[in-house]
Amino acid sequence: MEHPDGLDITRRGFLKAGAAAAAATAVPQHAGARDHANAAPPVSTVSFMVNGTRQTLELDTRTTLLDALREHLHLTGTKKGCDQGQCGACTVLVGGRRINACLSLAVMHEGDSITTIEGLGTPGQLHPMQAAFVKHDGYQCGYCTPGQICSGVAVLWEIKAGVPSHASADIAAQPLLSAAELRERMSGNICRCGAYSNIIDAITEVAGGQA
């Protein structure tokens, strides 16, 4: 298309040229960063099951399990909140137990079986904990919700398995399904919208107690 002032340029051509220029400027910076580190970073191969599917990844050893799930496997249901183990947004299940995926290296999970929020249920077939969160409005913005739900599932397993908490009066006795127990056990999952009471209602219902 001939431009009125003589410049033969299209919008698409302009954007493509812009992107190329941006890439050209980005490359030297990246190379500079590599030089600073003095060598290519060590890489490791790790193989684990994620939501029932075998995954084999070649990763920089520094990659956390959280980044492997989100950036490499594109399972973005697991959220990155603080990235230092304080908020619980990245909670996933490894062998049925909950962990903060941000405080775990992916290479530490060779042979492990990992379940993320995507593996618990689907929109058409919700996990009972997911359904209970919807029913009881156990969220507001929803950012902490995948972690809350994974944590909730593991909490019920922990209680069933007799794992005591700080709120247990007798650590040798079977833990109660009380609100105090649930609040203590869910204290690693922060909800800045403050949906805590509804979250406790949802977990209590799944546990078969009175909501």
Residue 51, token pair as written in the block: 């939501």
Q: Where on the phi/psi map is residue 208: left (φ > 0), alpha (ψ -120 to 50), or beta?
A: left
CA distances (Å), 89 to each of 61, 67, 92, 100, in order?
23, 13, 9, 8
Indicate whether 45 belongs to the interface with another protein (CB under 8 A).
Answer: no
- Interacting residues with another protein between 4 and 43 (CB under 8 A): 37, 39, 41-42
Residue number with CB closer to another protein (62 or 192): 62
Q: Binding another protein by CB under 8 A: which of 108, 141, 169, 171?
A: 108
Under 8 Å between Cβ of 152 and 129: yes
What is the helix (H) or strand (E) element at residue 110, kind and residue range?
none
Per rule CB under 8 A, is residue 104 in the interface with another protein? yes
Give the interface segment with another protein, choosing from 69-77, 80-88, 114-122, 176-184 (CB under 8 A): 80-88
Question: Is 163 an interacting residue with respect to another protein (CB under 8 A)?
Answer: yes
Largest CA distance in the chain: 86
- Does the protein bind another protein through residue 49 (CB under 8 A)? no
44 binds another protein (CB under 8 A): yes
Instruction: Out of 16, 17, 21, 61, point to the residue binding another protein (CB under 8 A).
Output: 61
Residue 56 touches another protein, criterion: CB under 8 A:
no
**Binding flag, residue 161, another protein (CB under 8 A):** yes
Beta strand 43-50 with 53-60: parallel, antiparallel or unpaired?
Answer: antiparallel
Asked if residue 103 binds another protein (CB under 8 A), the reply is yes
Closest CB to another protein among 16 and 160?
160
Tell which phi-psi region holds residue 13, choosing left (phi > 0), alpha (psi between -120 and 50) or beta.
Answer: alpha
Please, which residue, 24 or 39, has the CB nearer to another protein?
39
Tell me whether residue 60 or residue 184 sits nearer to another protein (CB atom). 60
Residue 190 within binding range of another protein, rule CB under 8 A: no
To 10 degrees, the CA torsion angle through 192, 198, 204, 208?
Answer: -140
Nearer to another protein, 93 or 200 (CB): 93
Chain residues binding another protein by CB under 8 A are: 37, 39, 41-42, 44, 60-62, 64, 83-85, 95, 97, 100, 103-105, 107-108, 110, 161, 163
